[in-house]
Structure 1
């Protein structure tokens, strides 16, 4: 059995790759670290975006594990252009997983890169793994395993948020939202 904890980053100052955490977000990192201290974490992998790896850095320091950065966990790019109706555009990408806007990536493309990380880790020796990423990519990763997850579930995510995926003999994990 393997436990994969999928973590959405703490409260951030923006969406850019170098956007830092807010003061509240920095406080939340300590709460996240405390939350995981009794979970026997043996591997941590994160989006290279500052808000993601800063979310898990206090835990990594406390348990003496380095955070592995992986570009495949970076946030999904919806479009290279800023659109005032981006939420409507995003919603459509949950209904049409191949829909791709200019300069962006489809839901299927983003989902595939996230799942490739999960599959690599599942084939490794680690048993209790933390993934840190971003809301849209996380919702797509979860959708891969449970097609009932979509736009509405993305909207309900919090910063931070944590899902526990329990993998046993089959490829479909039991998924539980465990952050409150």
Structure 2
């Protein structure tokens, strides 16, 4: 069998889900939501500057990002380094938290809705905002549409980056993992972390979740595939490991 750390996946693109780097609101414990003008703090700027190094050697074909400033700031340097434009995607924007926007998280924990968000997020609707189920629907629709477009435009081994927000990425990962939305709070997505998904005709494969480390070259599919299995087939007996 050809080398590689995952299933035989010819014919599909690789999606890197990137959470924006740490923002000023993250540092202050405030729920920024869709508040305009929320940029990165000093830690976040350092994280963003390190992205090009972390993704060095990865042939990124396309960048897609939420319109909010903290996401745009996160990918700006990477886009310049790669010479790849950033496509703005409104469906990857932060959750519309409605009346919760701008409030301190420590105060929100006292709200009755907090327990719903924690235990039954599929039933959570933010006052004056949107439902978490709506967030998942729009975000999953967006990433699948872009994945098909990028695969068609750049070929079956294309790699692309989608920069979004914590709860949005968790909702996308829950869908890819086949989890009910009520289980999405089990997923952790830290600032400037990457999670990796490949969509196939049969199922998505989740290769990484919440990776905040360095080299991510192991996410690339093997260049030669001689197992004879479908690109949608999972490895039987377990992965052979990177470089096997």
Query: Does residue 104 in structure 1 map to residue 136 in structure 2?
Result: no
Query: Does residue 34 in structure 1 map to residue 68 in structure 2?
Result: no
Question: Displacement of 1:99 after TM fit?
Answer: 2.7
3-state SS of paired residue (1:114): helix
Within 1, Cα distance between the matches of 2:108 and 2:146? Answer: 36
- 1:46 is matched with 65
* Aligned counterpart in structure 2 of residue 62 of structure 1, from 61, 78, 81: 81
With a CA cutoff of 8 Å and minimum separation of 6, indicate the structure with the bigger relative contact order.
2
Query: Does residue 158 in structure 1 map to residue 177 in structure 2?
Result: no
Question: Displacement of 1:18 after TM fit?
Answer: 1.7
Within 1, Cα distance between the matches of 2:168 and 2:79? Answer: 22
* Larger displacement relative to structure 2 (41-50 or 31-40): 31-40
Query: Does residue 170 in structure 1 map to residue 193 in structure 2?
Result: no
What is the TM-score normalised by the length of structure 1? 0.88
* Larger displacement relative to structure 2 (86-95 or 119-128): 86-95
Does the 8 Å contact 2:68/2:93 carry over to 1?
Answer: yes
Deviations 1:94-117 (A, max 9, x none): 624133132121111001110111
Which 4+ residue blocks in structure 1 deviate beyond 6 angstroms? none
- 2:17 is matched with 6
Question: Displacement of 1:90 after TM fit?
Answer: 5.0
Q: Cα RMSD between the aligned structures? A: 2.1
Does the 8 Å contact 1:163/1:179 carry over to 2?
Answer: no
3-state SS of paired residue (2:15): strand
Question: Displacement of 1:78 after TM fit?
Answer: 2.8
Within 2, Cα distance between the matches of 1:50 and 1:109? Answer: 22
Q: Which has the larger radius of gyration?
A: 2
Question: Displacement of 1:179 after TM fit?
Answer: 2.6
Within 1, Cα distance between the matches of 2:36 and 2:109? Answer: 18
* Aligned counterpart in structure 1 of residue 44 of structure 2, from 25, 28, 39: 25
What is the TM-score normalised by the length of structure 2? 0.66
